[in-house]
Structure 1
Amino acid sequence: MFKAILIDKDDAGYSVKLSTIDDAQLPSGDVTVNVAYSTLNYKDALAITNKGPIVRKFPMVPGVDLAGTVEQSSDPDFKPGDQVLLNGWGVGEGHWGGLAQRARLEGKWLIPLPEAFTASQAMAIGTAGYTAMLAVMALEKNGVTPDKGEILVTGANGGVGSFSIAILARLGYRVVASTGRPEQADYLRQLGATEIIDRATLSEPGRPLAKERWAGAIDSVGSHTLANICASTRYRGVVAACGLAQGMEFPATVAPFILRGVTLAGIDSVMRPRQDRIDAWARLATDLDRDALALITQEIGLEDVVQTAERLMKGEVRGRVVVNLQC
């Protein structure tokens, strides 16, 4: 028996509760993991609060991240005792995820836990930090170096935004943070932001082309914000898009792309090939200041998940939430 957050839907409606589950109910998979830590991401909060169509079948254990120890495996790449890590692959949506003390998964979804991190640290980073690293690597791949100019990070108080600022600052970039919570300016400066701007300056409908400013940007907001970023990106600049907090629509024109050669790079972290994941985590081991984890992260127990998800959806949670499955 193990404890888990269980989402269900029946004639009585949508329900979420902390449950005790028998091992026999675990889904199919070739690796069984004793989960030590998981996380509470925006996508998890959408699922738990039923604010978005995240869950594809019921019942479902949410949680897009997990780190733990292999207990059983028929996958030749893993053996009992191995420390492993998972981000994405649709867990918590179509396959039971990490907000449980045990998980049964496909071995191809797992990577070894990097030696540089404990399970707790890996989950402090989680999908948010891993996605931020993929976005930074996309900027680099397209030629954006620190000498090219300012980098804009939107959704700065969220997990992706916080890690993007910390990584970029450590690499020597000048980072401008866009936030709707100006009272968090000191936190963003501690992470490495050199300037704070109000998200309202980007969130309304704008012109097809605006004054050139950004050499690059990492955007987790979408909608008008992303359109305005593209419109104000400098010649041959790069915008890495990885979220839709404002909305899925993209009310833009082709002007920034055909007149300024702007690159819009889509960042998918869910279905990324294994080698890309390994490379991103290797970069995190060298390019992320561990001291930033204490600033970015708070830890909760499984019993606190539902309430914290409600707070996250209200914009009351800063940075990352790590869920300790061992208590």
Structure 2
Amino acid sequence: MTSTTFTPPQSLVIATRESRLALWQAEHVRDWLRSLYPQCDVRIFGMTTQGDQILDKSLAKIGGKGLFVKELEIAMEQGHADLAVHSLKDVPMELPPGFALAAVMEREDPRDAWVSPRHASLDELPHGAVVGTSSLRRESQLRARYPHLRVQALRGNLDTRLRKLDEGQYAGILLAAAGLKRLGLGERVRAVISTGDMLPAVGQAALGIEIRADRPDLLQALSPLNHLPTALCVQAERAVSRGLGGSCTTPIGAYATLEGDDMLLRAVLGLPDGSRALHATSRARVIEPSQAEALGLQVAQQLRDQGADALLAQLGGH
């Protein structure tokens, strides 16, 4: 019987977007890999994607967050890079043929953050105050809870969004708490919004590492970076979206938590104008990916039973 010995990689190239947050994420993975494999030459290959270039249209109108991922995949396909680091909430629910998610790293704070120079919370805002967000999911939940506020689109990287806020274009903006914390901007957070008030995006605050599917060597090399509890939770969340045929721009929030082997999964699907929202919750024992997938599909079916298909048709999703 022959045993295969693992040979540590000699060099690795990480493809990433060039925004400050994306570079932080790539550097975070680079530092992990350097500590695991001190002899390995780990380099970063920065790219400006189409999603970074088109800032005058909403992501929903130009093809969704997959625009942040596609060009990094081409770099891997052409041999310019071995792996790509993504915010998992930007990763399409179905990866293209020939690619695989090799690892899901431990999640940061998954909640949304309220950032405002003058107002301590959303509850303090006067009638007609303008709140900025690029997310249909946030817009849907925000309008349902605060119908007296005005919601306006907010595109650009994190620094651009904060600059627009500081210029007075918005009373406040909603951002992922994880991004602010990772860049050392935690002091900008005026309030963190509980998941009971606003469900996060699928995979929010988790980093995913994508590789070509024909690289089992990389799958093995990256396995120490995979955080199983996060990977299981994210798998359940992504299964909700897949089960509904949702894309990265569908107004779906889903959030799974594990206590021991007990997973609680909550999901919401709403119209961007806040006029209608469907909610579903389920709990199950989850210790392996197939069980996480099954729980996600079960929650998706609960939403379908409440009329998700008709709601998605209204959104133009079906």
| Shorter-chain TM band | under 0.3
TM-score scaled by length of structure 2: 0.28
Compute the TM-score of the two structures, normalised by the length of structure 1. Answer: 0.27
